[in-house]
Structure 1
Amino acid sequence: MPPRLTPFATPLLALGAALLAGCSSLPWAAGRTPDGARANVAILETTDVHANVLSYDYYKLKPDASLGYERTATLIRRARAEFPNTFLFDSGDTIQGSVLADYQALVKPVTCAQELAVYKAMDAMDYDGGTAGNHEFNYGLGFLSQVTGTPMNVDGGRSDHCAGPHFPLVLANVYSARDGKPIFKPWTVVTRQIEAYTADGSKLSVPLKVGIIGFTPPPIMDWDKQHLAGKVTVSGVVEAAHKYLPELQAQHPDLIVAILHGGLNTAPYTPDMENAGWYLAGVPGIDALLLGHSHAEFPGPRYAGLKEVDAQRGLVRGVPAVMADFFGKDLGVIRLVLDRKDGRWVVDREESHSEVRRICSKPGGPNKSGPQAVECVPADPAIAPLVQQAHEAAIAYVNTPIGESTLRMSSYFADEGNMTALAPVNAAQIDYVRTELSRSHPELAGVPVLGAAAAFRTGFGGPDDYTDVAPGPLTLRSAADLYFYPNTLAAVKTDGAGLKAWLEKSAERFNRIDPTKAGEQALINSRYTGYNFDQIQGGIRYVIDVSKPVGQRITTLTFQGKPVEPGQPFVVVTNNYRANGGGHFPGLDGSNIVLAAPDGTREILAKWLESRKQISAKDLEPTSWNFAPMKTRGPVVFTDASGKQDVARKAGLDHIRQLKDHGDGTATYGIDLSR
């Protein structure tokens, strides 16, 4: 029996029915978000992971809590717990850069049905999209097409659908030479339900459409010329944005996020600019900018003082932007505040800002157990099991024995003259090219062959970021430690003037030292990367005078004891990156390459070490350069790993001494330039 209605029930029911009927005319009831509503959205970014899935150092064969995507995953989960509305994107340089990556690409390549380990890990975190960095092209277009699950109409590309990441990759500025079309989708739109609130505080669930468009550095055509020439073309970042943004805007997204594998440079714009983020931020229609490539943090002090850049709040020309460092050390977070105006979402740029969240705290920060304590977040337990089989196979691979060494080969103090880690690279390169040139270029048989090598690991990533191969058995891990990148070998023809210009460019690694200055002076120019400090061997000797201005520092240059003449011919062995213009060295643009080897420098080095069976000091050329003697009033200092003064002494650098241990694995050293 139905309940009996009171005398007041009928009019109340009528009123309720009328209210319900009236609600159908309200905008949110009809699927439209009302003006005055507000939403907070977090854009999360990873970049330059370089296949460092686990917190593990394959060169030292031990865990390393200071890096690894498995810890970034923890930050991602924490951010999602903090922010109800999140989107997660990756800015590239994802599939290359670790022993695990090389194993899956070069040693035992994954099949079409197998997904790369790094993409397995990222899929576990449910990404919304990403782009390709320059290092995505290191293994060739066929491999890239396969592992990204992207059929490509290019020479060497794949037409089938292979296992790839479970999120879209977009790239707007690389095109097939066959048909002129982008090799990846230039843009896409991802939609996610978000929480929003009306002006009176009512909670809404509404869809948010986010358009993404991706860009890679145009110099890939130089850096990976052997893989890309004749197969693809590249346009400038700004040109590609102007070309494809109208298409994306026609889809009426609520937000547009530009994903750039590049940093910030305010120099005059050119279509081949490597770090064009500042100019991309100036293209109308972009609401947020994700950066990468520079292996740096933005916001951060490195970018303080740049025009129209707020390096504290993370704004580039008013656009919220972030760059999350490298190797899984950080998570980038852009906090966007959205206001609903005139039927569309508008970013409140006064309220929005960016930050970089580290997996490890900096020494001496708040909430530490001691003044120098460093705390790292735990690894996400879901990641390691996904890649364990590939991880163990990579470890077994790098432990393959190839010989023995009686000396320590280390990049500690490589900037100060310790060439023990560079000499075997140069020796292997020179031997290889002398043999190959006699076959392919007999007219160059009498031209001296020199070797140029740089120390790739000089502490940029922390106190463990050095090459250090101990005396004793050598393995493939030793070769990978001595030669960090999967470059191929290239040789260029130059002359004495070109050789001097090459060395002058390398000498920019040092600050100019004033001998009369009483205060402390830093030897190393931190803005000039260590991997661009080429040190050349093969019978030459040279002197670097750091008291002189850039371009005038090579004061002595001899070959076999005689001064080098400007027109004297040389062949210099380097890598494909440098030979094709990487680092902007004078005279190196790919036009004077006389040998582009199909073999990787690391593999050439491994075969050289194996052929020698045992390496001792007599097999390696001594250091080929020294600083010009100079007495300074004040100390000249640099930073290196702590407790390594004995390494310097054994390398013949007894004019170096440790001055101060920082307590974080690094120390300040002094160098007496008068000796």
Structure 2
Amino acid sequence: MPQRSCLAALAAALFLAGCASQPSAEQPRAQPLPDGLRADIAVLETTDLHSNVLSYDYYKQKADPTLGFERTVTLIRKAREQFTNSLLFDAGDTIQGSVLADYQARVQKPGCGEELAIYKVMDAVGYDGGTIGNHEFNYGLPFLSQVTGTPMNVDGGATQRCVGPRYPLVLANVYSARDGKPIFQPWTIVQRKIAAFTPDGSKLSVPLKIAIIGFTPPPIMQWDKQNLEGKVTVTGVVEAAQKYLPEIQAQHPDLVIAILHGGMNTSPYTSDMENGGWYLAGVPGIDVLLMGHEHTEFPGTRFEHMQDVDDEHGFVRGVPAVMGGFFGKDLGVIRLAMLRQQGHWTIDKTKTFSQVRPICPPMLVAGKPTVSASNCVPADPQVALVVGKLQQATIDYVNTPIGQSTVRMSSYFADEGDMSALAPVNAAQIDFVQHELATAHPELANGPVLAAAAAFRNGFGGADDYTDVQPGPLTLRSAADLYFYPNTLSAVKIDGAALKAWLEKSAERFNRIDPNATGEQQLINSKYPGFNFDQIQGGINYVIDVSQPAGQRIEKLNYQGKPVTASQTFVVVTNNYRASGGGRFPGLDGSNIVLTSPDGTREILAQWLKAHPTLNADDLPRSSWRFARLKARGTVVFTSASDKQPAAEADGLHNIRQLHDNGDGTAVYAIDLSY
């Protein structure tokens, strides 16, 4: 195994000594435990870390104290100081999602004897278990097999056991297509010693036997089709739980914890449901539910009207549950009150509750809860020592020059018609596919080629979560800023009717605006993710009428100045996620893909930028859509980063004005749709 630096090794040793909870080698007590024992256990959860090890924005090249596992570690330490007994689990989407992660997966891959950075730090903290998220599959099964230390009987899977995390990873609903066996252990037993108290207050050290079982979203077969098709199969989360719970119960665990990389949906259950947490909580035998994937918090107001959900105390169908945010912004905590009755541990639900603890507790500014960097917990200093050399190598890599730009490309107003950050992506996609079609599909080479892109950085993660590539030198960091995810490129063949349906689905990003309403109306439908608002370019133009109901908003759809007909043929370039059914767009299920590329879209974009060493506005396709003119009696509003009205003006959006600053780096803007 390659030797770490003395400094990093010392940091990890100190880290373990001060932070980790270690399994006990002692065997369970032979004599039965007395009834009436009580024990409080803190079940701690991280999820959707996306390899944000440090509080750092690689795109803006500056510290960002509002995210990062190094600050979550501070919350973990505090929770362990508060609770005598604690367990720590991770709910997936761990190894992908930051520039540091891409650097390790794409550029400087770790050897078999080298541990992945995020796992190295998590081991130093001391985890008790975890599961696999959908984004773990983005880099392919060979990489996943290696870095998790999990030999897999699949095409490309590692046959030797490489260095992976020292905590167990469990996954019950993904199986090898070769032998039908799970590619990870579906469940395992974790044994710990806990402090318990008798009714008279005496303290005992007693064993606790915890079973953990893990689940990933079944739609991975669509989202990562090129990595998974023919190699693995997937079942629904409820079916997997029902399959393995009898085995688990045969081991007589004291506690069964389900770790689900998924959220909650009360729509009728299907085996391919993306967010099956509500139904999983209803499977008899599950005592605790840890969730993720939705990049939100539970308990939280988003779930306040959901059936059989206590969004204040954190129960789902009577099961204690938590979902701890994303990017290391929060720590999920369940205070589990255990009571020994009739020879078994039970959960005292009257004294059990869940909460999500933020690294940046909101402050009241002008009467509104506001996140301020000045109010964030400090970073644990040992984390940076463990990954310091890798961090610098990552920064050096993303600063590799690839050209110059005379235009600003930003996503502050991508929802309102500024396509400056999407235009280079679409231009690169069209250029690549037009070249490839000449040999792969000459019958399509002379037909219309369009491209679809969405603004991935649209403010969902806060005031700094926007793309902003300034005029001047372009680097690989610029390409990563313009294209956030490690998708690969796919092209689909569709007709004009499907093209319109695609755009109609995208237009669900907007709320329906009533022109006669006198109060404020929100333009953006917050329940429709920005990464599903595809904007298509390549010679087409269209109008979005937000006064119409969803499905009836696309007007004046033209190609090269002529109306698009229902039977007209188009090749549309998109990413593998969308082409394979991601987002549930009509007509996109993987069956009409005519071209795929093993190259990442980000890499294709970087090569296109290199081929345009001085990027000018003339190199980019023009904006392809606008809102239908609408005179609203009230004010139509949306939120973006504060003080960006000049950027809107510079890109031709003269109908936008900032109304007021929210005090957290964001502002409320008004848009005049009558322009």
TM-score exceeds 0.5: yes
Work out the CA distance in 2 between the residues paired with 1:454 and 1:305.
Answer: 30
The 3 A distance-change label for structure 1 pair 367 and 163 is: farther
Which residue does 1:486 correspond to in 2?
486
Is 1:522 matched with 2:496?
no
Q: For 1:63-462, list aligned pairs within 5 A.
A: 63-364=63-364, 374-462=374-462
Work out the CA distance in 1 between the residues paired with 2:338 and 2:313.
Answer: 17
Q: What are the Cα deviations for residues 600-625 of structure 1, in whole angstroms up to 9, with x where unaligned?
A: 00000000000110111111111100
Q: Is the 8 A contact 1:364 1:372 kept in 2?
A: no
Work out the CA distance in 1 between the residues paired with 2:310 and 2:248.
Answer: 28
Query: Tell me, which stretches of 5 or more residues in structure 1 are unaligned?
Result: 1-27
Which residue does 1:641 correspond to in 2?
641
Q: What are the Cα deviations for residues 610-646 of structure 1, in whole angstroms up to 9, with x where unaligned?
A: 0110111111111100000010000000000000000
The 3 A distance-change label for structure 1 pair 369 and 674 is: closer
What amino acid does structure 2 have at the position aligned with 1:251?
Q
Which residue does 2:605 correspond to in 1?
605
Q: Is the 8 A contact 2:433 2:573 kept in 1?
A: yes
Work out the CA distance in 1 between the residues paired with 2:404 and 2:371.
Answer: 42
What amino acid does structure 2 have at the position aligned with 1:632?
A
Which residue does 1:553 correspond to in 2?
553
The 3 A distance-change label for structure 1 pair 102 and 199 is: same
Q: What are the Cα deviations for residues 49-107 of structure 1, in whole angstroms up to 9, with x where unaligned?
A: 00000000111111100000000000000000000000000000000000000000001
What amino acid does structure 1 have at the position aligned with 2:657?
R
The 3 A distance-change label for structure 1 pair 47 and 425 is: same
Which residue does 2:620 correspond to in 1?
620
Q: Is the 8 A contact 2:363 2:369 kept in 1?
A: no
Query: Tell me, which stretches of 5 or more residues in structure 2 are unaligned?
Result: 1-27
Work out the CA distance in 1 between the residues paired with 2:151 and 2:609.
Answer: 40
Which residue does 1:48 correspond to in 2?
48
Q: Secondary structure at the match of 1:227?
A: helix
Q: For 1:8-19, list aligned pairs within 5 A.
A: none
The 3 A distance-change label for structure 1 pair 552 and 282 is: same
The 3 A distance-change label for structure 1 pair 373 and 292 is: closer
Q: Secondary structure at the match of 2:395?
A: helix
Which residue does 1:630 correspond to in 2?
630
Q: Is the 8 A contact 1:364 1:373 kept in 2?
A: no
Work out the CA distance in 1 between the residues paired with 2:622 and 2:558.
Answer: 15
- Of residues 500-509 and 365-374 in structure 1, the stretch that sits farther from structure 2 once superposed is 365-374
Q: What are the Cα deviations for residues 107-141 of structure 1, in whole angstroms up to 9, with x where unaligned?
A: 11111111111001101111000000000000000
Q: What are the Cα deviations for residues 636-662 of structure 1, in whole angstroms up to 9, with x where unaligned?
A: 000000000000000100100000011
Q: Is the 8 A contact 1:368 1:374 kept in 2?
A: no
Q: What are the Cα deviations for residues 138-157 of structure 1, in whole angstroms up to 9, with x where unaligned?
A: 00000000000011111110
The 3 A distance-change label for structure 1 pair 207 and 313 is: same
What amino acid does structure 1 have at the position aligned with 2:318?
G
What amino acid does structure 2 have at the position aligned with 1:137?
F
The 3 A distance-change label for structure 1 pair 539 and 367 is: closer
Post-superposition offset of 1:368: 12
Post-superposition offset of 1:33: 1.4
Post-superposition offset of 1:348: 1.2
Post-superposition offset of 1:390: 1.0
Post-superposition offset of 1:389: 1.1
Work out the CA distance in 2 between the residues paired with 1:229 and 1:369.
Answer: 46
Work out the CA distance in 2 between the residues paired with 1:165 and 1:29.
Answer: 29
Post-superposition offset of 1:529: 0.4
Q: Secondary structure at the match of 1:193?
A: strand
What amino acid does structure 1 have at the position aligned with 2:178?
R
Post-superposition offset of 1:574: 0.2
Q: Is the 8 A contact 2:171 2:182 kept in 1?
A: yes
Q: What are the Cα deviations for residues 402-444 of structure 1, in whole angstroms up to 9, with x where unaligned?
A: 0000011000100000100000000000000000011101111
Q: What are the Cα deviations for residues 354-401 of structure 1, in whole angstroms up to 9, with x where unaligned?
A: 000000011318999999785000011111111111111110100000
Work out the CA distance in 1 between the residues paired with 2:89 and 2:126.
Answer: 10
Q: Is the 8 A contact 1:580 1:590 kept in 2?
A: yes
What amino acid does structure 2 have at the position aligned with 1:461?
G
Work out the CA distance in 2 between the residues paired with 1:595 and 1:370.
Answer: 46
What amino acid does structure 1 have at the position aligned with 2:113?
A
Work out the CA distance in 2 between the residues paired with 1:46 and 1:590.
Answer: 33
Q: Is the 8 A contact 2:65 2:373 kept in 1?
A: no
Give the total of aligned pairs: 648
Which residue does 1:656 correspond to in 2?
656
Work out the CA distance in 2 between the residues paired with 1:428 and 1:395.
Answer: 25
Work out the CA distance in 1 between the residues paired with 2:113 and 2:556.
Answer: 58
CA RMSD of aligned residues (A): 1.5
Work out the CA distance in 2 between the residues paired with 1:357 and 1:97.
Answer: 22
Q: Is the 8 A contact 1:361 1:374 kept in 2?
A: no
The 3 A distance-change label for structure 1 pair 339 and 110 is: same
What amino acid does structure 2 have at the position aligned with 1:407?
V
The 3 A distance-change label for structure 1 pair 603 and 130 is: same
Work out the CA distance in 2 between the residues paired with 1:315 and 1:591.
Answer: 40
Q: Is the 8 A contact 1:504 1:553 kept in 2?
A: yes
Q: What are the Cα deviations for residues 492-542 of structure 1, in whole angstroms up to 9, with x where unaligned?
A: 000100000000000000000000000010000000000000000000000
Q: Is the 8 A contact 1:368 1:375 kept in 2?
A: no
Q: Secondary structure at the match of 1:105?
A: helix
The 3 A distance-change label for structure 1 pair 370 and 484 is: closer
The 3 A distance-change label for structure 1 pair 181 and 653 is: same
Work out the CA distance in 1 between the residues paired with 2:270 and 2:551.
Answer: 24
Q: Is the 8 A contact 1:363 1:664 kept in 2?
A: no
Work out the CA distance in 2 between the residues paired with 1:29 and 1:354.
Answer: 30
Work out the CA distance in 1 between the residues paired with 2:268 and 2:124.
Answer: 41
Work out the CA distance in 2 between the residues paired with 1:139 and 1:246.
Answer: 34
Post-superposition offset of 1:302: 0.7
The percent identity for this pair of structures is 70
Q: What are the Cα deviations for residues 245-281 of structure 1, in whole angstroms up to 9, with x where unaligned?
A: 1111111110000000000000000000000000000
Work out the CA distance in 2 between the residues paired with 1:142 and 1:30.
Answer: 44
Which residue does 1:23 correspond to in 2?
none
Q: Secondary structure at the match of 2:125?
A: coil
Q: Is the 8 A contact 1:47 1:324 kept in 2?
A: yes
What amino acid does structure 2 have at the position aligned with 1:201?
G
Post-superposition offset of 1:32: 2.3
